[in-house]
Structure 1
């Protein structure tokens, strides 16, 4: 009886799926143009959108999408996938959660759900429902994600892998067994767009990979490992070869600092002529006063030799509310249609 009641309650709470925004379905150009004549965050967003369009128009510019936070779960997942499909980005640096718990998770056929009510979190725990603010995830489905990561690791040669190399194998899995065509991980595999997660095990991938190592060790067998140094080296190699680069950053934290540090790393390796990131947009709600990387302004990054200050814009807004406007504007202006396709992932084959 209790199990039946719990099943019914869980079904009630997981009854409304998050529907991801389709930037092709509406044209944000008129509202962005209007915002450019306003003030405050509206004008900041309009300038940020102009800078992103300049990145797309610059045929020499490689563009990196940098994602931290939970916008993928909140409804921007298809937005990011469309940027990749339409050749509007050339590389991705993200948190493990954005790539594994959110995109790969939905690529396996699972969903995120709107929390139409938020009962006591202990109640959610008893029902195996995880909460991201007003969004729910079925923990049992998330464990399927963990187990799939384990299975992928089990099928690989036991050697070091960068996160990019392992995520490529995740994309290969989705291309064969996935349930969602517009998964960022799947599309990245198909279009040779590299995805880096510098803190990869801080996600559902961590559970599956720990299980892989523990079980292999118990059996006296070698196991695969993630090579964080290879992440930094590979991403820096792309920066050196790319030359002109632009950053479209949602949130901050480790992904933001990781991509910015490639300039400094290139200099350390003797490439003193490496360009700072020419273009940079950051959308964040972080406060600058605590000195954290998430909140450091792009002008502050210039003092470290990472970002040029001529074409940068901070937008202080919740990214889920403004990214659809920025991305729709850029998609409809169409500068992506004749961009060179870089396929940076191929340089590691």
Structure 2
């Protein structure tokens, strides 16, 4: 008798999806210009916009996007995707949550949801709902994301991969017709040739898929792949040296 009630409660909690901001649908420049004459964070925002414009206009400068997971789940993922799409970004350095739990997760057709007011975390746990501040994720869908990472692992040569290499493989997998939601950051970066680095890649949903891959391969006495953190450091350093001047957004 409890299952239908739980299912109905879960459906009620996950009824309002998070919609990502579309920066192509309006011109934000007037309000940014107005902020230049204001105070506190407003003036800082206008100054930051000026600096980023300088980085884009300087042909000798390589602009990099540095982002956190909470902003991605909060509705900014399409902003980041479009920055790559329109040639404003040369490289991305992100948290594993941004790339896997948010972007790849939505590329698989899943959604993030607006929190339904104040709800006890024990109620969320009973309904298999994860919470990021005031944003919800269906844990069962997140586990499906874990399993997809496992499937990708099993298709690859068992060796060490930098996070950039593995995320490139994720983008390739999506571009081969597996994306339920086209135009994700991962797929766009793959198609535009923009590298994505996640120095703490396994600190995300991908970690579960990678662990399952290794456990199953070890039990079978077979070689397995791993994420090479040293390769991340080396590749990032190589890119920085080759780029020279960089601008960080």
TM-score (norm 2): 0.98
Q: Does 1:51 align with 2:30?
A: no
Deviation of 1:84 (Å): 0.6
TM-score (norm 1): 0.70
The answer on whether the counterparts of 1:146 and 1:204 sit within 8 Å (CA) in structure 2 is yes
User: What is the alpha-carbon distance in structure 1 between the residues aligned to residue 118 and residue 214 of structure 2?
Assistant: 37
Q: Does 1:16 align with 2:13?
A: no
User: What is the alpha-carbon distance in structure 2 between the residues aligned to residue 130 and residue 223 of structure 1?
Assistant: 30
SS in 2 for 1:70: helix
Match of 1:187 in 2: 188
User: What is the alpha-carbon distance in structure 1 between the residues aligned to residue 54 and residue 171 of structure 2?
Assistant: 30
User: What is the alpha-carbon distance in structure 2 between the residues aligned to residue 60 and residue 139 of structure 1?
Assistant: 44
Match of 2:217 in 1: 216
Q: Does 1:73 align with 2:53?
A: no
User: What is the alpha-carbon distance in structure 1 between the residues aligned to residue 117 and residue 133 of structure 2?
Assistant: 11
SS in 2 for 1:23: coil
The answer on whether the counterparts of 1:36 and 1:47 sit within 8 Å (CA) in structure 2 is yes
User: What is the alpha-carbon distance in structure 2 between the residues aligned to residue 54 and residue 207 of structure 1?
Assistant: 41
The answer on whether the counterparts of 1:82 and 1:182 sit within 8 Å (CA) in structure 2 is no
Deviation of 1:89 (Å): 0.5
- Give the gaps of 5 or more residues in structure 1: 249-349
- Give the gaps of 5 or more residues in structure 2: none
User: What is the alpha-carbon distance in structure 2 between the residues aligned to residue 108 and residue 59 of structure 1?
Assistant: 36
User: What is the alpha-carbon distance in structure 2 between the residues aligned to residue 69 and residue 208 of structure 1?
Assistant: 19
User: What is the alpha-carbon distance in structure 2 between the residues aligned to residue 164 and residue 213 of structure 1?
Assistant: 19
SS in 1 for 2:222: coil
The answer on whether the counterparts of 1:21 and 1:75 sit within 8 Å (CA) in structure 2 is yes
Instruction: Write the deviation string for residues 31-54 of structure 1: whole angstroms up to 9, x where unpaired.
Output: 111111112111111011000011
Match of 1:2 in 2: 2
Match of 1:82 in 2: 82
The answer on whether the counterparts of 2:69 and 2:102 sit within 8 Å (CA) in structure 1 is no
Structure 1 residues 52-201: aligned runs within 5 Å: 52-176=52-176, 177-201=178-202
Instruction: Write the deviation string for residues 27-81 of structure 1: whole angstroms up to 9, x where unpaired.
Output: 1111111111112111111011000011111112111101124110010011110
Deviation of 1:25 (Å): 1.0
Deviation of 1:221 (Å): 0.2
Deviation of 1:187 (Å): 0.6
Q: Does 1:242 align with 2:239?
A: no
User: What is the alpha-carbon distance in structure 1 between the residues aligned to residue 209 and residue 136 of structure 2?
Assistant: 21
**Large movers: runs of 4+ above 2 Å:** none
What is the root-mean-square deviation of aligned Cα atoms in Å?
0.8
